[in-house]
Amino acid sequence: MGKGQTGVSNTIRALRFNAGEMTQAALAEKVGVTRQTIVAIEQGRYSPSLEVAFRIAAVFRVPLEQVFQWEGKIDE
């Protein structure tokens, strides 16, 4: 995990590509956040709230776990 990186990866870039090269601005408008926030989420610099995560999944009509994957570890 690099500096400023979260433990959550995502497939938003691929999902946008599969959705007819949807632009970051178009996704931002559908989700209700700024384009900069979509950029930050896509680059793994920002973990969105659950609500925004669900909104993104809803835009692509896929389950949440297809958009976001947890890559961290839980200490036992």
Which residues contribute to the site for other proteins (CB under 8 A)? 3-4, 32-34, 36-37, 40, 45-46, 48-49, 52
When the beta carbons of 6 and 15 are compared against other proteins, the nearer one is 6
CB of 76 to other proteins, least distance (A): 29
Give the type of residue at 39: V
When the beta carbons of 52 and 62 are compared against other proteins, the nearer one is 52
| E-assigned strand segments in the chain | 8-10, 68-70
Residue in the structure block whose two tokens are 């979509």: 38
Is residue 31 within 8 A of residue 56, CB to CB? The reply is yes
CB of 5 to other proteins, least distance (A): 9
When the beta carbons of 18 and 23 are compared against other proteins, the nearer one is 23
CB of 71 to other proteins, least distance (A): 17
* Residue closest to 47 by CA, chosen among 6, 12, 3, 19: 6
Give the type of residue at 18: N
